[in-house]
Each structure stands twice: as C-alpha cells, then as structure tokens.
Amino acid sequence: MKRIGMLTSGGDCQALNATMRGVVKGLYEFFDKVEIYGFLEGYKGLMYGNYKLLHADDFSGILTKGGTILGSSRQPFKLMTVPDENGLDKVKAMKDTYKKLKLDCLVVLGGNGSQKTANLLSEEGLNVIGLPKTIDNDLWGTDLTFGFQSAVDIATSAIDCIHTTAASHGRVFIVEIMGHKVGHITLHAGIAGGADVVLIPEIPYDIKKVVKALDARAKSGKRFSIIAVAEGAISKEVAKLSKKERKARMENYPYPSVAYEIADHIKATGGAEVRIAVPGHTQRGGSPCPFDRVLSSRFGAKAAELIKQEKFGELVVFLNNKVTSIPLSESAGKLKYVSPDDDIVKEAKTLGICFGD
C-alpha cells in the first residue's frame, strides 16, 4: 500500500486539477493499492490535520476544470518557522501530520514560496516531490510552469478585444497584466496581441520614450496604440530608489496601480485619449488551455514515476523540451526573471515594440 499526500499551495491557476489527475492516474498504473490524502487549503491543511481521503472518482472529469478541488491558501515561507497565534510550531505540526498518516510521499503543487517550504520539509526528512505551478512562469530551473500558457492566452485575448475598440475611437489603451516581480506573461501576451509598447519590471521605463513611441505611431497615421504593462512595472526614476524609499513612495501613492500613473503622464502631454483595461484575476480562471493540459499531464506522470523510483526531494521541470527533474534545493528561493538580453526581448524590439528603455 502506497500512501500519498497532496496539496495545492499559493495562488490558484487553471491546471492544478489536471496535474493532480496526472499524478493519480500514474500512481494507479504503477501500484496495485494507493491511498491519496488531499490536504485542504494548502499547507494550512497539513498544519492542522485538515484532509480527506480521495478516491479515483474524485479525479474523474477534472482535466478541464480550473481552480483546485482541494482549495488553496498563501502561507508565506518567512512565517513558516514562526508559531501561529496559538503558539503552534508549524513545521513540527506538518511533520506530525505526515507521520500520523504514515505517508510515503508528499506531493506539493505550488510556485516559488511553496517550493521553498517543500524543500524545507524535505530537509526535515520528509519524502517530497514538487510540481511547478505559477502563472508567472518565474520558478527557477524550469523553462515552463503549468498555468503560464493559460494565463498568456487570457491576457492575449484581452488585448485582442481591446484592439477593436481602440481602433474605433482612436485611443491609447493600457492593458495591465499580472506580474508583480517578473514580466513573462506581459511579454508573451504583448507580442501575441500585437502591443506597441510592453513595460515589464525587469526593464525600467522612461515615460518620455514611451510618449515618443506613441507620437511616432500617430504621425505615421496610426489611429491607436496598445500598451501592455505588467502590474509591477517601474520607471527608471523609481528603479534608482532604495527599498526604504520605494516603500515610503508606495505609502503615499496616489494611483490605484501603475497603469493609472502611466495614463496620467500620457494625458499630461496632450496626446490621444487614454483608457485602461485590467483583466485581473480572469488570468487565473477558467479552463486550462490544451497546451497546459498536456504539460500538466506529463508533469503528473513524471511525479508518479519519481515516487515509484523513490527519488524524493525533487522538483519536476520542463527543460529543453523534456520533462525531467532537479533537486528542490537547486530551485528553492530563486526567481526566473526576464533578462533584457534574452532573445525574445531582442526579437520583440526588432518587431518595433517599445520597452521604454
């Protein structure tokens, strides 16, 4: 009998269910008897012993279902070693739950913070397998994470829809895409959606150069422009500030988000009308796209294979078009940023896209 625990942690995305389904189908192929314990609301369920025994039927029909059947919650890694309000030792509690259920392995579906905790539990002696979930595609060590392509599809669709109304009214439209620290979604959706300007956190922008690019389009006879901006995009002036100075700036920030600040600056130049569209959490919702369904199924199958091989402390990854794995310790605590020197950035510039740098 194999006893496997499973949890989904952090922000939700479209392919969590598809990935869990892949793990379970693989386990049923490899082992005659399997018990699957699903922890509710991520690490919180593991801490407080809130779980349910799952059966094959629970994983039937969920390949196309977004969200997570287990629920999720954000449990910051920096607070994992801090007792809760009742003095509970969180790490010890998670280890106790694992041992109480006599688990052979814990499968963690999550992003950067979740995998840092997964690595912590691995170092504490638990058998852990990580699966790379995040719409931001910012988990170090893997070319792709599940959820990313689905989010890009939705963000691109939003830009596509904006094109017609922008063209009809001759406006500048700013589409604010998810991404606080990294700009992978904005970059890919911006290229796919034909955005004229793409602003991401990794490449601080000069608003004067953004306005210059918009003016050049207007002078060439273009009636509208599309700006795809990541919610974490920053100007060159802000990039020069210290962390303390940035924090102080945000405490008195007069705008709902960066898109509104950029719009204000553009309006001040006396140019075209400016409108803002924020797809927001729609980028996390709905059904996973076909690409993510395939990727998630492959990830799940690989996790089952690693469990069969008793190769624990691993993160399943997609590298060079192959599904493989790397030690959790290699990825934990590292973010995968967009580099200004990446080929995709250079190629986007060749296409005439302005990054404001």
CB 113 within 8 A of CB 140: no
> Closest Cα to residue 77, out of 328, 341, 276?
328
Give the integer Cα–Cα distance in Å for 315 and 284: 22
Backbone φ and ψ for 269, nearest 5 degrees, come out as -85, -10
- Distant-in-sequence, close-in-space partners of 130: CB < 8 Å, separation ≥ 6: 107, 108, 110, 114, 115, 118, 119, 314, 315, 316, 328, 331
Using alpha carbons, select from 72, 279, 10, 306 the residue that is nearest to residue 161.
Answer: 279
Residue 121's Cα: distance from chain center in Å?
Answer: 22
Catalytic residue among 12, 104, 136, 196: 136
Looking at 76-222, list the stretches that DSSP marks H as alpha helix, in order from N- to C-terminal side: 90-100, 112-123, 148-169, 184-192, 207-219
Q: Could you tell me which residues come within 8 angstroms of residue 283 by beta carbon, excluding any fewer than 6 positions away? A: 135, 151, 154, 155, 177, 178, 185
Cα angle, residue 106 at apex, residues 105 and 110 outer, rounded to 5°: 145
Alpha-carbon distance 316 to 301, whole Å?
A: 10
Whether 136 is a known active-site residue: answer yes
Residue 326 to residue 310: CA distance in whole angstroms: 14
For residue 228 the two structure tokens come to 């795809």
Residue 210 near residue 266, CB atoms below 8 Å: yes
- The residues assigned a catalytic role are 136
